[in-house]
Amino acid sequence: MEQRYFTEEHRLLQGMVREFARSEVEPVASEMDRQGQFPTDLVAKLAKLGLMGVPIPSEFGGAGMDTVAYTIAVHELGVVDASLGITVAAHTSLGTMPILMFGSEQLKKKYLAPLAQGELIGAFGLTEPQAGSDAGATRTRAERRKDRYIVNGQKIFCTNAGIAGVIIFTARLIEDGEDLGICNFLVETGTSGLRTGPPEKKMGWRASDTRSLYFEDVEIPLENLVGEASRGFSQFLEVLAGGRISVGALALGTAEGAYRRALSYSLEREAFGQTISKFQAVQFKLADMATQFEAAKHLVYHAAWLKDQGYNIVKESAMAKLFASEIAMDITSEAIQIHGGYGYIREYQVERFFRDAKALAIGEGTSEIQRMLIAREILKEAELS
């Protein structure tokens, strides 16, 4: 797989992120999970390494690399700590990319460099109490009043909300009492009337920051509309299509982290006078895990490569996210099984990977929504042929 998609630059990046993940993140990941503690210092180190803006062009302060490179970075972080991986993915794919993809020159100039350099953290608020999968049911409203929008509403489950400097959010644009549909807007945290709730107490991704957002007569300037009013809905769908590749990458990392632990445990643990790796039942589990992982890797890196070549990736990114998140659940579960009772105990860490894996099939579109997207695309293709 690597031979096909990786350049020398990709390999260097992989080595650098891998080294950082092993030396700086792995030793503290378990404790941060236990305490539900956001790793401010690690994010600052990621920023120094240029990892908060991997796919952002260098003219806007980013590393100027491609989607394959970004996929490598999130994948490698996920091998040791999914919480840190999702922090980077939400910041990059959802908090920064909408500005690069659809923002005005003014928004790009003002926000991209500080975001890409990690001086500001980005977030994306789409989900509401009554609008998750059904994003069209969004109730948050941005009413135009001469030179500004007045925003009222609520968002939930917003990753990075508590540490973000900038939040992209969706709201219905109301002009002269008319509902013009859902658009993307940018708000700086600290703006009067914008409040964040307490951190959610989560099953997994516990060291990532997830909160509600409350908008009460929040005033934002007209230039903070991100993209075109008439294309708001399709634009955020495009953002999510790209974001799904990074969730697929995180699923690869989560699966690989658990698989590696299970493989080495099987070579150490003895039962009935031999290591458990000698039992065919364990070997078959390892073989299935390795095969699932390899298949997911192909799907995820292929989707990333297609995006870099400028292809439409709606179907491929949904397939990559769906498959990788579901095999991450299977692999992390089997990793616990291979560890036996120790797998259920925190010290052995595979239970953390299992808890983290579950979120992958929910965030950025549930598995059911991915199947709907894939079915829609394949039926469209069949009708056209």
Ligand X SMILES: Cc1cc2nc3c(=O)[nH]c(=O)nc-3n(C[C@H](O)[C@H](O)[C@H](O)COP(=O)(O)OP(=O)(O)OC[C@H]3O[C@@H](n4cnc5c(N)ncnc54)[C@H](O)[C@@H]3O)c2cc1C
Interface residues with ligand X (CB under 6 A)? 90, 124-127, 132-134, 157-159, 202, 205, 210, 359, 362-366, 368-369, 372
DSSP E strands, 148-196: 148-159, 166-175, 178-188, 194-196
Using only C-alpha atoms, the chain has a radius of gyration, in whole angstroms, of 21
- Shortest reach from residue 201's CB to ligand X, in Å: 11
Q: Give the 3-state secondary structure of residue 6.
A: coil
- Shortest reach from residue 281's CB to ligand X, in Å: 32
CB nearer to ligand X: pick between 24 and 364: 364
- Shortest reach from residue 56's CB to ligand X, in Å: 19
Instruction: Name the token pair of 212.
Output: 């509600």
Residues with Cβ within 8 Å of 152's Cβ and at least 6 positions away in sequence, in order, are 140, 141, 143, 215, 216, 217, 218
Other CB atoms within 10 A of residue 114 CB: 18
Q: Give the 3-state secondary structure of residue 105.
A: helix
- Shortest reach from residue 248's CB to ligand X, in Å: 15
DSSP state of 13: H
Q: Which of 228, 256, 364, 377 is catalytic?
A: 364
CB nearer to ligand X: pick between 124 and 305: 124
CB nearer to ligand X: pick between 132 and 340: 132
Other CB atoms within 10 A of residue 211 CB: 23
By Cβ distance, which residue is nearest to ligand X? Answer: 132
Other CB atoms within 10 A of residue 9 CB: 12
CB nearer to ligand X: pick between 126 and 258: 126
CB nearer to ligand X: pick between 277 and 366: 366
- Shortest reach from residue 63's CB to ligand X, in Å: 22
Alpha carbon distance 146, 174 (integer Å): 12
Asked if 364 is an active-site residue, the reply is: yes
Alpha carbon distance 246, 355 (integer Å): 18
Q: Which residues are catalytic?
A: 364
